[in-house]
Structure formats: C-alpha cells, structure tokens
Amino acid sequence: MTQIENVSRRKFLQGAFGAGAFVLAVRHARFIPSILAQGAPLDWQSEADRAAFHPNLFVGIQPDGTVYIIAHRSEMGTVIRTSLPLVLADELDADWKRVKIDQGIGDKRYGDQNTDGSQSVRRFFTTMRECGATARLMLLQAAAARWNVPAAECSTELHVVVHKASGRRLAYGDLAADASHLPVPKKEDLQLKKPADWRYIGKGAKSVDLENLCTGKAVFGMDARMEGMVYASIEHPPVFGGKVKTVDDQETLKVAGVRQTVSIDPFKPPAAFQPLGGVAVIADNTWAAFQGRKKLKITWDNGPNETYDSAEYKKELRETSHKPGKVIRSVGDSDKTFPTENVVEADYYVPLLAHTPMEPLVALAEFKDGKVTAWAPTQNPQAVQAIVSSQLGIAKEDVVCHVTFLGGGFGRKSKPDYVAEAAVLSKKLGRPVKVVWKREDDVQFDYYNAVAAMYMKAAVDEKGKPTAWLQRSVFPPISSIFDVTQVYGDPPHLAQGWTDLPYDLPSIRIENGPAQAHVRIGWLRSVANIYHGFAVQCFTDELAHRAHRDPVEYQLDLIGPPRTLDFTGVTYPNYGADYKTYPWETGRLRGVIESVAEKSGWAKKKNGKGHGFGFAAHRSFLTYVATVVEVEISDDGTIRIPRVDTAVDAGIVVNPEALRAQFEGAAVFGTSIVRTGEITAKNGIIQQSNFNDYPVARIHEAPAHTNVYITESSAPPAGVGEPGVPPFVAAFCNAIFAATGKRVRDLPLSSNGNFD
Amino acid sequence: MIKLKVNGIDRSFDGDPDMPLLWYVRDILALTGTKFGCGMALCGACTVHKNGQAIRSCVTPMSSAANSEIRTIEDLGANGLHPVQKAWMELNVPQCGYCQSGQIMQAASLLKGTPHPTDNEIDEAMAGNICRCGTYQRIRQAIKLAAGKTA
Ligand code: FES
Ligand code: FES
C-alpha cells in the first residue's frame, strides 16, 4: 500500500517549492507544469524536469498558501484532473480556489497510472483522502504546538486551523514551514471526514482546464513542440505482421521539406505495444511528411494474415458459436441435455470497432545521452516507459514520459506503439522527432475492439420464462496481442457482462469458443461488455416480446429477488476489485431499472409505427445502469433519437456533473457503434480509412437529449467512463424493434441495408 | 510570395502554395489551437475563419488563403472571452476538448449570420463538426445560451 512520508524533511523541496514549503509525498513523485505556454517550446529541460531528486508529490503547500496537487492519471475528457485532486482537497479542508493542479509524469511510484477501466476514482479515492487527511492533521499539530494547546482542541476550517476556545486562527500557508518538520502520522491516527462533512465530494467542481480547453491553449500531444524537432509520418505494413520488401524513396526525397526516410523494423511477435514497422518519412513539417509518403514506392511481404477476409471470418465465428465451447459457468443441471420444446435461439454479431479518438495518434520524443524524454497523449505513461526502454535497450528510469492532454483516448492511447515509434526514430536521427499519424493510419492500424459472435438459446415455460439458458460467445481475445497462441476469451473479459449473467434461472450454461486473431485486438470503451451486453439484453427483449410481456417487468422477473451473486467455483475477476467491497448486487440493478422506468415514464409509453422505446440494463466496471432509448424512424429509414433516459448507481459520486457528461457521451459513442461502427478487412487490409467510410455520430444523429439520474449511494465509488455504453447499445436496438418490428442482431445498422 | 493576415498580423509565406492553411498555422506559426482531425474536410477540428466565414483549413491551400484575413481560436476572444466561449464554459461543454476549437469557431460563425438559430439551423451548421466524446447536447444548449449575445 501507499507509504506517506514527509518529504520536506528530506529536503526534497529545491526546484519545486521554495524553502519553508510543506510537502507531503506519497512515495516519490516528480513535479512538472502541465499547461505549457501556448506556442512556446516545451520546458523539457527545466530544473523541475531534470532535478536529481524529483519528489513525486501528491500535495504540497507553499508559505503563500498555494496548495499543489498532483494529477497522476491522464486527462482525456473525464475531468479526472479535477475530480481526484478534489478528493484530496476535501480531506485537507483546502480552499479549492487556492489549489493548483500539476500533471505527474510516468512513474511507478505513483502506483497504477493506466487511465483505463473506469477505475481512477475507485482505485485512488482512499489514497487521496488519506493524503489530504494526513496533511490536514499535520497542519493542525503544527498550530497546536505553536499555540501550546492540545491538538484535540484544534480544528480546521477552510484553509485555516482554528483554536475555538481562544479564537485564534492560523492560515495553512503560515503553518507550512512548521508542519514540514513534523513526523508523518500513522494511518490509524488519521480521522477521515464523515460523508456529511464533505465539502467537495458529491458536489463536484468544474474542470480546472475549462478555459484552456475553450481557448485553444490546452496543450495536446498534437501540439507538443520542441526546439530542433523534425516531423515523421510512417507508412506501416498494410497487413498486420507484414514486412517491407523493397523501398524506393527517390520521388519522396524530391518533395520540398522532406529530409530523409528511415526504415523501422517489424515487430517480433507477439506484437504487444511494439511499433508495427514500416518506412518513416522525415520532414520539416507535417504536411511535407504526408506528401512524401504519397510518393514512396514500397513492396511488402504481407505474411500469413494476407488471407484474412472479415466476411469469411464472420462465418467462421458463427459456425464456432454453434459448436460446444469451453464452459465458463454452469448453474443447475445445465450439463444435461437442453430441453427440445419451446426453444428460442438467436445469433448476434458485433464487428471490429475502431477507437478514432478525435486526436489521431501522435508523440514527440527525444533520445539524448542515453535517455528518452517523451511528450505524449498517453493513457499509460508507465507503459510508455516500458516499451521505450525495451525498444531502445535503456532502463525504464531513463525514460521520462510527460503526459499532455489527450484528444480522446477510449482505450487506444493505453497502447503506446506510437510513442515507441517516436523514440526509435529519435535515436536513429539524433534529434527530437514528432510522429504524426494521419486519420487513415489511426483507422487502419488500430487495436480494434474484438469482432464477436454470440449464440443465445433458451427454453421457455408457458409464461415465457426461461427454464434453461445457454449463451456462447466467440471472439479473438485481447490476450492474443501478448501471446499469439491465445484463442479463448480471458477471464477478465469474459467477466464483462458474460460470466456474470445476473438471472435467477434453474439452468444456465455460459460458454466461450476459440477464435484466432488476424489484427491487433485491444480495449475500447467498455470492451467486451459491448458485445456481451448487446446479446444478453437484446435476447432478453426478444423473449419478453415473444411472451407478450413488458420488457422491464420481464427482466425484473429474470433477475429475481435482491441478492449477492455467488461466484463460488467460478472465475470472476470483478474488474480487479475485491468482491467483498464490490459485490454484484442484483438489488442495485433492480434499483436502477425501477428508477429509469419511473423517471422515463416507461409504463405510459406507447410504441407506434416508426416510433418506439427500448430498454436495457447492465452492470459494468462495478456500476449499475439502466437505459431507455426513444427512436423515431421515418419512412425513408432515417433514424432519430429524441430522448435517452439513463439511471446510474455508481456508488459514491465525486463529481456528478462529470458523471452526467460521461453518460451523455456514452450514448453518442453507442449511437456510432449501432449505426455505422464496422471495420472490415479484405486480403488482410482494413477497408476503412477516415470518417467518410468509418462514420461516427454527428450532431443530428446523436441523441437530442440524454437525461441522467444518479442513485444516491454510500457504496464505494465505481466507474463512470464506460458503463453507459453497453446498455445504450442494446436499448437502442430494442427501440428499433419496438418501432419497426425488425430485430437488429448483426451490427451495425449500416450493414443491414434496412436503415441508413 | 503569399501575403495574408492571421489574427490581425501581416504574414507572408513562400513555401509550397499547396500546403493547407492548417499546417501553416500549426507548424509554422505555432498556433496550435486549431486542430488536425481528418485532413479531408470531414470533421471540422481545423475550422478557422477566413474573412469572417468558417472554413476547413485542412483543405484550404495557402494559395487560396492569399490576401485573406484569417482568424484562429487564439484570437476569437481577443477582447476577452467570446460569448460562445463563455457559454461553452458555463455549460461545461468540453470533454477532451480536442474538437472544441473547431466547434467554437463554427458556432461563432453561425451566430454571426443567424443570431437566433433553430434546432435545424444548428444541426445544419454544426453537422460538419464531429465530437467523438459526444458533447453535442451541450453544444446545442450552449449555442442557444450564446444566441443573441454575439456582436
Ligand atoms: S481536419 Fe479539417 S475537417 Fe477534419
Ligand atoms: S470534446 Fe472530445 S472530441 Fe469533442
């Protein structure tokens, strides 16, 4: 666990803070400014950057009262740079207006920094509270000593310690120097606030970066600049695992602004986060590099994935999904023969999906004196350190990764292949290199969300309720990027809305079949929950309609009474969270279902021709969500989404406004998945390239209004970035059925021909 | 030699006249508020004003920017925040923020010509600007909030 120590006493202050400052560190951290002067060269060689001792600080207090709090997770739009420091500030009783946020570099001493899995708040909520409470207690002790009164007689108000009996007050800044000499109290001596006393937690705050994001001043990876840098654009092997055979760069070198071309070695399997290889065009500006690439004449050795055809592959997955697979979980007598009477079956399919964050992949790196300094929009700066260190044969500690703002991430920017490219090129060229991916590169060389086929089967009684349930999924696993022999779903991803089917049925059998990957597979916002939630929630809707029952009431019937799901004997990783702290409680799922039904006026909704309402509920990333989607479909097939209602139980919510924004965004993200999300391949080559052939939802296609209802809860905090996507996808498809009588079993709509 | 004004400053450019304005502004002038998203006039991230009109700088060659007045996000609120920016902040529009320079430039241009746009007019004007984070609902509200407040 986290060790808190008073680094002031160890003279960790020089460079970052003035003398007399009170600095509390959780392990060791480094201190760097995150918002760089717009247009100015990055301050990559500053004292703070290069300090021989770089105190890795979560909080520091200056004699002038300024409180510095480190944001060690990446900002890609979830407002985490605000929400997590807010937790610390709350326990510190700090005045938020006097808090400054600084972005931490990649450093394992912070603990996990991979900003994915919707886990920033839940993993660091307690750490942040303890850091704040520790600082507060030490300030309090410093004041008590100054006044020569027992600490127990002192308390804190906003940014001050007070001694009520004598009416004396001392500001935090005035106590910083004294506090820096005190020993750090033990965890047991800390008194965390009661929830009723929270100032900020639960109320939230606006993003500290709001103005910079609205004025063009925020520095994204795309905006990083460094003295003497050159620009690189890379022609990657068009087929995954391919290699360069021959290169003719004569015409490229004639392009004004192009300096040279550089080959990058192909990766050695497994691909993991290694560069894909190819030919880089080095130029004086981005445009020249792009132009130079057009003139390259390269022949490729495509390798075995040359035969990959996504249409054929779909058939293979479906066939596999019809054969017995590995049993993941079994309830009741599911291993006996399945009933043959009153059986309902359905096949569902979700294709490969690309992330397309608004900011294409980009990274700036400089290799100098055996060390690398990188500036990157990365979700995982420690993974940057790891891959750069292994690619260049240097120590991880010799890789400094500064985290810029991310122009979206959605999981793509957890995989730092693009940062490794910049580092590899910088080493070859002996100068800073900025690698810029075109949108076409981003679409064609993604780590795609897995294509998946789901086979669903139920035998139902006279009331239409299942007496036996079988579900089997087949998808190339993410683990294949780390081990090419992996073909079965790995437990963490099977657990995403599949293993944990929450239905109270006498017989359940959950299976998974094998699939070989032919492209890089990776995490995308809500990951396997997308296809698992789609299949389970749409199939449930099918059964409800078949039974002439209300889908909400029917689902509540299947979920059964409030209880904690029992996974004894089942591998259920629960998103890496302790099951005792974060049990799967059907009562909480029922709660959001009842809430969304009430708030949306579900009981009074009437489906008509071209107008329908769909419902779905799903737990992911430890958060319970239920969603109702309204659709209008005109005679020409144009689909509108006038309204979405979504109820969320995410436990304690630090920043409700940020939660609402995430669920609004998730509905738009889900709209893209359902309408047009599809990556296909022919001869191993990805067929899509930009927003013309991989369209994402635009303003008139997105839900006009998403209402978000937050359940008040004292349960520990859970995820908010991803859980909105899966129930939206299913509810949208169920709404289309309600409006048209047509079932959407293969995504996206654009591949069905029925809808535009 | 191409002459133009960028954010009120006279500039001249003697490079490749085919170079899109986007890369001139970003790489050469270091005005990085204007973003690259697609390079094909598909996403609107690169939106700037040319003689007061919103254009996609990624497909505007320098040759066609000659003798024009270009304004980028950096200069939109030259005299304090523009009403669109204020509305964006009031309603917490940005998530990642990467698309927002383009959205704001597009919205400012819409409101200049149509001070009180209807939902349909907003859809039409903003349909070329993608927000992958999905802030459209707030963009619409913010445009309405800013409506009538722009000069
Ligand atoms: S970058 Fe110009 S429209 Fe996308
Ligand atoms: S705010 Fe992220 S793309 Fe619009």
Burial of A442 (0-12, 13-18, 19+ CB in 10 A): buried
CATH number at residue B39: 3.10.20.30
Q: Whose CA is nearest to atom 4 of ligand 2?
A: B131
Q: What is the pLDDT of residues A181-234, one digit of tens each?
A: 888 888 888 999 999 999 999 999 999 999 999 999 999 999 999 999 999 999
CATH code for the domain in which residue A496 is found: 3.30.365.10
pLDDT number for residue A13 = 28
Of the residues A83, A282, A287, A438, the best mutation for testing chain B's interface (the one with the most B CB atoms within 10 Å of its CB) is A287
A284 shares its domain with A331: no
- Give the domain extent around B14: 2-74
The A residues from 362 to 421 touching B (CB cutoff 8 Å) are 405-410
Contacts of A650 (CB under 8 A, 6+ apart): A622, A623, A624, A659, A710, A711, A713, A717, A718, A719, A720, A723
pLDDT-derived band of residue A4, with 50, 70 and 90 as boundaries?
A: low
Q: Binning pLDDT at 50, 70 and 90, where does residue A177 land?
A: confident
Ranges of H-type helices in A625-718: 656-676
The residue whose two tokens read 């991916």 is A437
Q: Please tell me whether residues B31 and B61 are part of one structural domain.
A: yes
Does the residue B117 lie in any domain? yes
Say yes or no for a CB contact (<8 Å) between B40 and A406. Answer: no
B6 and B63 co-located in one domain? yes
Domain C-terminal end among A194, A215, A236: A215
Residue A16: which pLDDT band, with cuts at 50, 70 and 90?
very low
Q: Ligand 2 site: residues with CB under 6 angstroms?
A: A 77, 358, 408; B 94-100, 131-133, 135
> How far, in Å, CA of A237 to CA of A541, rounded?
43
Q: Which pLDDT belongs to residue A35?
A: 26
CB A529 within 8 A of CB A618: yes
Contact B16 A696 (CB under 8 A): no
Average pLDDT on A3-10 reads 48
Domain co-membership, A298 together with A365: yes
Long-range contacts of A334-337 (CB under 8 A, 24+ apart): A334/A468, A334/A470, A334/A507, A334/A508, A334/A509, A335/A509
pLDDT of amino acid A52? 20
Residues B97 and B54 in one domain: no
Contact A431, A675 (CB under 8 A): no
Chosen domain end from B74, B105, B124:
B74
Identify the pLDDT of residue A754.
55
**Shortest CA gap A638–chain B (Å):** 15
Q: Which amino acid is at A565?
A: L
Q: Is there a single domain that holds both residue A169 and residue A225? A: no
Same domain, B9 and B29: yes
The region of weakest confidence among A1-10, A123-132, A430-439, A445-454 is A1-10
pLDDT at A752: 77
| B45 neighbourhood in chain A, CB within 8 Å | 358
Does the residue B151 lie in any domain?
no
DSSP secondary structure code for residue A603 in this structure: G
In a domain, A99, yes or no: yes
Amino acid identity of residue A183, one-letter, is: P
> Number of A:B CB contacts under 8 A?
196
Same domain for A374 and A416?
yes
SS3 of A32-90: CCCCCCCCCCCCCCCHHHHCCCCCCEEEEECCCCCEEEEECCCCCCCCHHHHHHHHHHH
Does residue A146 lie within any of the structural domains? yes
Residue A51 has pLDDT above 90, yes or no: no
Q: Tokens 């304004």 belong to which residue?
A: B71
If residue B96 lies in a helix (H) or strand (E), which one and from where to where? Answer: none
The average pLDDT across A418-445 equals 98
Domain end point (choices B32, B57, B74): B74
* Residues A57, A627: Cα–Cα separation, whole Å: 40
pLDDT at A26: 40
Q: How confident is the model at residue A753 (pLDDT cuts 50, 70, 90)?
A: low
- Residue A17, SS3? coil
Checking if the pLDDT of A83 tops 80, the result is: yes
Q: How far apart are CA A462 and CA A470, in angstroms?
A: 19
Residue ending a domain, among A215, A238, A263, is: A215
CB contact A666 to B (< 8 Å): yes
Question: Best of A212, A358, A691 to mutate for ligand 2, by most ligand atoms within 8 A of CB?
Answer: A358
Say yes or no: A104 and A195 in one domain.
yes
Q: Is the pLDDT of residue A542 over 70?
A: yes
- pLDDT mean over A151-158: 97
How far is it, in rounded angstroms, from Cα A335 to Cα A332?
8
Whether A664 sits inside 8 A of B131 (CB atoms) is: no
Q: Cβ distance A61 to A134 under 8 Å? A: no
Number of domains in chain B: 2
The domain that holds B88 is classified in CATH as 1.10.150.120
Is residue B55 located within the same domain as residue B108? no
The pLDDT of residue A334 is 79
Considering just the CA atoms, what is the radius of gyration of chain B in Å?
15
Closest to A364 measured CA to CA, from A213, A223, A219, A236? A223
Return the structure tokens found at B44.
């609107």
- Judge if A270 and A326 occupy the same domain: no
**E-strand spans in A284-440?**
297-301, 326-331, 343-350, 362-368, 371-376, 399-403, 433-436
Residue A19 pLDDT greater than 50, yes or no: no
Taking residue A246's Cβ as centre, other Cβ atoms within 10 Å add up to 9
Of the candidates A408, A665, A700, which has its C-beta nearest B127's C-beta? A700
How large a percentage of chain A has pLDDT more than 90?
Answer: 83
Residues A20 and A40 in one domain: yes
* Beta carbons of B24 and B36 less than 8 angstroms apart: no
Determine contact: A287 vs chain B, CB below 8 A: yes
Considering the domain boundaries, does residue B17 fall inside one? yes
The answer to whether position B139 is within a domain reads yes
Distance in angstroms (rounded) separating the CA atoms of residues A709 and A638: 29
pLDDT at A363 over 70: yes
pLDDT band (50, 70, 90) for residue A112: confident
| A chain contacts of residue B43, beta-carbon cutoff 8 Å | 358, 439, 691
pLDDT tens, N- to C-terminus, chain B (151 residues): 999 999 999 999 999 999 999 999 999 999 999 999 999 999 999 999 999 999 999 999 999 999 999 999 999 987 899 999 999 999 999 999 999 999 999 999 999 999 999 999 999 999 999 999 999 999 999 999 999 776 5
Residue A662 lies in a domain: yes
Q: Is the pLDDT of residue A30 over 50?
A: no
The residue out of B24, B43, B74 marking a domain boundary is B74
- Decide: A292 and A247 in contact? Cβ < 8 Å: no
Chain B CA closest to residue A438 = B38
Is residue A442, in this structure, part of any structural domain at all? no
Question: Is A462 inside any structural domain?
Answer: yes
Q: Does any ligand 1 atom lie closer than 6 A to the CB of residue B130?
A: no
| Stated pTM of the model | 0.94
Nearest chain B alpha carbon to A642:
B137
Q: Are residues A151 and A249 in the same domain?
A: no
Q: Is residue A126 classed exposed, middle or buried when 0-12, 13-18 and 19+ CB atoms within 10 A define those classes?
A: middle
A587 and A516 assigned to the same domain? yes
Asked whether residue A612 is assigned to any structural domain, the reply reads yes
HSE, side-chain direction, 13 A CA sphere, residue B77: 18
Give yes or no: residues A726 and A638 share one domain. yes
The predicted model gives A589-618 an average pLDDT of 97
Q: Tell me, what's the pLDDT at B96?
A: 98
* φ, ψ (nearest 5 deg) of residue A221: -55, -40
Tell me which residue range forms the domain holding A262: 221-303+361-436
Q: Are A281 and A252 in contact (CB under 8 A)?
A: yes
Domain count, chain A: 3
Per-residue pLDDT, A107:
83
Atom of ligand 2 nearest to the CA of B97: 1
Lowest mean pLDDT among A273-277, A606-610, B98-102: A606-610
- What single-letter DSSP state applies at residue A319? H
Q: How far is the CA of B101 from the centre of ligand 2 (A)?
A: 10
Q: Is residue A57 very low, low, confident or very high in pLDDT (cuts 50, 70, 90)? A: low
Phi (first) and psi of residue B100, to 5 degrees: -75, -30
What is the ipTM metric for this complex?
Answer: 0.98
Q: Given CB atoms, is A438 within the 8 Å cutoff of chain B?
A: yes
Q: What is the pLDDT of residue A487?
A: 98
Token reading at A413:
């920017």
- Looking at the fold, whether A174 and A281 belong to one and the same domain comes out as no
Whether residue A651 sits in one domain with residue A569: yes
